[in-house]
Structure 1
Amino acid sequence: MKTSKMCAIFSNQHEYSRLKPLTDERALSTLYFAGKYRLMDFALSSIVNADINHVYTLISQEKVRSYLDHLGGGKEWGLDTIGSYEYLDFYQNLMRRRSRGENYFDDVIFFLKTCKMPYTVFIGNKMAANFDLKAILHFHQSNDNRITPVFKRVEKDNLAPDDHTFVLSDNNVVTEQREAIELTSEGSFNLSANVYVMNTDWLIHELEKAQKSGASYDVSERLAALAVKEKANAYEYTGYLRNIHDIPSYYQANLDMLEKDKRDSLLYGNQKIITRIRNEVGTYYDKESDVKNTLISTGCTVKGEIKNSIVSRRVNFAKDSVAKNAVIMANCKIKSGADVEYAILDKNVVIEKGVTVKGKPDSPVVIKKGSVISKDFVLD
């Protein structure tokens, strides 16, 4: 049996109003990505690839169904095996306990003490990235850090307002952290990837101190501040990373997967990305279909034209239908003569015969889950 020196805290805290209506009924981490994946697959796969099978998950209780629907019993990620330990908690519990003056980190601390692992990794839910946690742990040990934050050098358009950025010395020591909303200059910035590797005993001590002083229940915020306090050596992540926080960032991250170098970096590197297994038939391509530069998942029927698009499972494209520069989620139907361009179709959407749905390259139109579109929907 593989063993690890780490346990993991998987934080599903981030939710953004600018991702609505896609996140009306689902957590950000369960958004479809590159057809068959969900965003949570990247964090969970990074955890599994580091041989970690003790996972503490924090999630919003309003969105727990979508998370559990995808996770199932955790079989694909090895979280159902003998010796694994999976714990689910809600951020609302931390908020309520703190408001009542109770010890709001006690469950996290209990998890860390129960696992008895010398190191803990904290990882967030909104980065489409493939982290090698073993390499980060080695860096952490080599630098004799108590906490090792992970950063990525990005342009400003890859930042969300609540992201943390680091000011680093010449040898990548964290000297300061700032929220992205405070940044006024242009250029590139050291984005916190919301991944931290820590000494577990030290983390337990810091969480105990935090709740005694009534500090914020936001673990990520606390860790960013501690990275500055400890003058930690930061680990630079150099692979593909897209920060998902609004509709344009989600749309572009999906279309990035049509570029081979980005797709290979994220999905087909040394670290395998694991997702929920679906046993279904392959996709059927009619002899008159025309498909170019498109990722199509299993179970689809294609009789129309598809170009530069990402297509999830069980989507039906009727004869003479057209889809270009589109992100199409599961179980959609594009009927005969329909034209879909620069659009995101959520699950179970039906585009009726002859209807045009068209957005813009920098502003894709979003069709809500389960909608039946019988009239043209074109952004001016």
Structure 2
Amino acid sequence: MKAVGIILAGGNNNRMGELSRKRAIPAMPVGGSFRCIDFVLSNMSNSHVQTVAVLTQYNSRSLNEHLSSSKWWDFGRKQGGLYLFTPTVTAENSDWYRGTADAMYQNIDFLKNRHEPYVIISSGDCVYKMDYNDLLEFHIAKKADITIACKDMPADADVSRFGVVRMNEDSRITDFEEKPLVAQSNTISTGVYIIRRRQLIEILEKSAEENRFDFVTDVLVRYRNVKRVYGYKLNSYWSNIASVDDYFRTNMDFLKPDVRKYFFREEPKIYSKVDDLPPAKYNMGSDVSNSLIASGCIVNGRVENSVLFKKAFVGKNCVIKNSIILNDAYIGDNTHVENCIVESHGTLRANTFYSGDDAVRIVAENNERYML
């Protein structure tokens, strides 16, 4: 494909609460065995984008470890590869990334040294499948300067935290509002853009001169009536992980047969880093219904409508309902967990009760499991 990929994965999100204190949002576990960034990386690979740059910053250790080898997404090529860029202190600059546009500007040499005519820009915190070749063909056919992948949301969805767009009958975007108080449309930007590489370099350099640092507000919104900006409709599953409720709902969507089939069975596949773990083990007394149980798990109790990530342990006589148990969590005997997200490596003592009554509860217990 004649495009280079850029994945924006460095932002901080306070709406994720305890979940984002030790990891970046793109590193959040999703669907039992994936990380959030796996979806956009797989889309890049499946679309034959050979060169991809991931821009990381906030709590990037877990994400960098996950991306330590590019072979899982088939980027280990002589002509291309997977690049990780974090803020770097130089003689000219010592700033952190001050926004998405600034993050790309600080790595503008990467863009200048490439030969591909187009750039695909995507955020790393969304769960979806997309063939970027279709997006590029649309972009070329419309003779667009910038093309934004858009999604029609349900009428009752809260779109005030997204970029809301309005398009004419030719799919040209006539209005773009970032996080409006009152939305005039239910069509949102999915955070996927395509633009000519040379034009992006010019825009980034001009934005830097004017101390404008955000790609949405300082480029897309500002240039919407100056450049030819078009919207490409995405009609398949798409979810953005921007809050605890979004994260909980997205994982629960994987318990639906159609969503599970779409991501686990249908081509193209979603790829992830593979751990050498044994299959899940179900001991006497276990009872599992409508749940995802990842490899390395040991289940001794009842699990219902829940997602258990890798190496989770469920003790005897436990009840896990409508919950998400993250990697390597230990649930002691006779423990009841309902409507909760149990943080990774956490240890819940035996004979305890956890329940999210009015909202999803995050359980982050750091008890020493070997001294229980």
Normalized against structure 2, the TM-score is what? 0.89
User: What residue number does 2:60 align with?
Assistant: 64
Q: CA deviation at 1:223?
A: 4.2
Q: Which runs of 5+ in 2 are unaligned?
A: none
Alignment of 1:156-305 (within 5 A): 157=157, 159=159, 161=161, 163-183=162-182, 189-214=186-211, 216-225=212-221, 226-305=223-302
- Aligned partners of 1:105 and 1:208 also within 8 Å: no
User: What residue number does 1:138 align with?
Assistant: 137
Whole-angstrom distance in 1 between the partners of 2:96 and 2:300: 56
Name the SS of the counterpart of 2:60 in structure 1.
helix
The verdict on how the C-alpha distance between 1:232 and 1:294 changes in structure 2, with shifts beyond 3 A counting, is same
Task: State the number of aligned residues.
Answer: 361
Name the SS of the counterpart of 2:354 in structure 1.
strand
Name the SS of the counterpart of 1:167 in structure 2.
strand
Identity %: 23
Whole-angstrom distance in 2 between the partners of 1:91 and 1:176: 33
User: What residue number does 2:72 align with?
Assistant: 76
Q: Which digits, 9 at most, give the CA deviation of each residue in 1:264-315, with x for residues without a partner?
A: 3344432211111111111111243110000110011111100100110111
Whole-angstrom distance in 1 between the partners of 2:269 and 2:283: 32
The answer to whether residue 15 in structure 2 is matched with residue 23 in structure 1 is: no
- Aligned partners of 1:148 and 1:227 also within 8 Å: no
Name the SS of the counterpart of 2:229 in structure 1.
coil
Name the SS of the counterpart of 2:48 in structure 1.
coil
Q: Which digits, 9 at most, give the CA deviation of each residue in 1:8-31, with x for residues without a partner?
A: 111014322120100001101101
The verdict on how the C-alpha distance between 1:266 and 1:238 changes in structure 2, with shifts beyond 3 A counting, is farther
Q: CA deviation at 1:91?
A: 5.8
Name the SS of the counterpart of 1:20 in structure 2.
helix
Out of 4-13 and 261-270, give the one that drifted further. 261-270
Out of 267-276 and 344-353, give the one that drifted further. 267-276
Out of 220-229 and 257-266, give the one that drifted further. 220-229
Out of 134-143 and 267-276, give the one that drifted further. 267-276
Whole-angstrom distance in 1 between the partners of 2:55 and 2:322: 34
Q: CA deviation at 1:141?
A: 1.6
The verdict on how the C-alpha distance between 1:363 and 1:286 changes in structure 2, with shifts beyond 3 A counting, is same
The answer to whether residue 124 in structure 2 is matched with residue 125 in structure 1 is: yes
Q: CA deviation at 1:192?
A: 0.6
Letter matched to residue 200 of structure 1: R
Name the SS of the counterpart of 2:271 in structure 1.
coil
The verdict on how the C-alpha distance between 1:227 and 1:44 changes in structure 2, with shifts beyond 3 A counting, is farther
Letter matched to residue 49 of structure 1: N
Q: CA RMSD in A?
A: 2.4
Q: CA deviation at 1:233?
A: 2.2
Q: CA deviation at 1:110?
A: 1.7
| Misfit runs of 4+, over 6 Å | 92-95
Q: Which runs of 5+ in 1 are unaligned?
A: 374-380
The verdict on how the C-alpha distance between 1:105 and 1:289 changes in structure 2, with shifts beyond 3 A counting, is closer
Normalized against structure 1, the TM-score is what? 0.88
Name the SS of the counterpart of 1:117 in structure 2.
coil
Q: CA deviation at 1:72?
A: 1.4
